[in-house]
Amino acid sequence: MTKDNKGTGKSNQMWGGHFDEMPDELLQKINASISFDNKLYKEDIQGSIAHTKMLVKQGIISTEDGNNIADGLMRILQGIEDGTVKFKTEFEDIHMNIEHKLKGLAGESAGRLHTARSRNDQVAVDFRLWVRNRIDETIADLKNLRRVLVTRAENDAATIMPGFTHLQSAQPVTFGHHLMAYYEMLTRDQSRFEDARKRMNQCPLGAAALAGTSFPTDRFKTASELEFDAPTNNSLDSVSDRDFALEFLSAASITMMHLSRLAEEIVIWCSAQFKFVTLSDKFTTGSSIMPQKRNPDAAELVRGKTGRVYGSLITLLTVMKALPLAYNKDMQEDKEPVFDAAETLQICLKVMAGMLLDMKVNSENMLKSASAGFATATDFADWLVRELNIPFRDAHHITGKAVKLAETKGVDISGLSLEDLQKIEPKITGNIFTVLGVENSVKSRKSYGGTAPDEVLKQVKKAKEELK
């Protein structure tokens, strides 16, 4: 049952002139957003101060009113940060909570703040500012993680490990080369956030409810004050656009996918079956029943939290997919998924950097694994092409026979005798053994972007220049 507000003589302060009664309690409950949009308090105050300065400059409100408003907003900011200002659900959202507090501090002047502004453009600018700040933080975290990868790659430029396709041993590579692959992924991720930031950096403040305003405002002034490149071009689009949030979530989802792939590999590398790397107590947990266990929980959680960020993207896409212009209350649902995704992405980027710095590489196990599984079979085939001028498809067939014979004998290809190999292809010479060791295989991959240690170090040097 809900409380009947009929006959109370009370109405909402924001639209009380047209309404005689308070909203039903259920409407108040579903309508209130202060429990989550309080995160926008800094941006809301920042936007309001910029708006106030513009109103004063344009002669729309007096300097005295402007000073009263700005002083009151700064006192509210301080109160929120020191915990003395408390938010109330009855005032719905962060905007009205701050406006209510301002009224108690600035008196009649407070009522002039909302001149030439609507909550529609107010929330639009607050949200853009918040997302822009999170993009800047994300870029910083991505740069840090890229630096960690480069440092580790440089240290392990010559550490040999098996390269996989289908999670089957394919060709030997270096661990440094493997890590630099993730550096490339994260570099693209960073560029996506940078690109999204450029596109979103237009100021919607001044679009008012949807049609602009009749007051002589200067939207270029507020845009500049808030460090936007320019004001948005269309008032309808200004208040109804959430592409900037969707682009943030899209870039975050792709980044999380990359983190999840690396996390999955760390989980595999830590397993007893691989033993390629070891994580310390800092990033692992034990078992409540199996005392021998060391679980890579940090990596598993990064892998698992990827689904949360994907879900946030789908949530906002679904909210926006059928909304007519301009603002609709559905758009209140835009913030929680973005807030959650931003927090998730931030902790995962930091955790991944921590794990990589903490990780101990078991190079002997990596080398042993790289030497098994006929990882130099391609080198064998390439030698036949290069030295004997045999067409690659024929060389592939000859190599397959050599692998089969080695399997029968329980050895690697390098364990076959020259006599064994010449029974398969008489033209083969003893020189073939110079390419069958994993060290020789890795060193030979000198093509641009290849796994040869010298080439990895070239890519590391290039990456260091990029990170400057």
Rounded distance between C-alpha atoms, residue 332 and residue 148, angstroms: 38
Helix pair 243-270, 297-320: axis angle to 10 deg: 160
CB 139, CB 347: distance < 8 Å: no
Rounded distance between C-alpha atoms, residue 236 and residue 92, angstroms: 24
177 is catalytic: no
Burial class (CB in 10 A: 0-12, 13-18, 19+), 21: middle
The dihedral over CA atoms of 76, 77, 81, 85, expressed in degrees to the nearest 10, equals: 20
Closest to 244 measured CA to CA, from 293, 195, 277: 195
Rounded distance between C-alpha atoms, residue 54 and residue 64, angstroms: 14
Using omega within 30 degrees of 0 as the cis cutoff, is the peptide bond preceding 326 cis? yes
User: Residue 401: in which H helix or E strand, if any?
Assistant: helix 392-409
Rounded distance between C-alpha atoms, residue 465 and residue 130, angstroms: 30
- Report CA torsion sign: 448, 454, 459, 465: negative
Q: Which of 62, 191, 271, 287 is catalytic?
A: 287
Tokens representing 38 are 């309080």
Angle at 145 between CA 139 and CA 146, to 5 degrees: 85
Closest to 377 measured CA to CA, from 345, 352, 342, 413: 413
Question: Where does 156-289 have alpha helices with state H?
Answer: 175-200, 219-225, 235-240, 243-270
Q: Which of 166, 214, 288, 447 is catalytic?
A: 166
169 is catalytic: no
CB 214, CB 208: distance < 8 Å: no
Tokens representing 49 are 């101060």
Could you tell me how many residues make up the chain?
468
Q: How far apart are the first and last CA of the chain?
A: 63
Query: 421-436 as b/e, with b when 16 or more CB fall inside 10 Å?
Result: beebbeebeeebbebb
C-alpha distances out from residue 273 to 226, 267, 366, 369, 440, Å: 55, 11, 12, 10, 26
DSSP bridge partners of 162: 172
Strands (E), 96-248: 160-165, 168-174, 202-203, 230-231
The catalytic site residues sit at: 166, 287
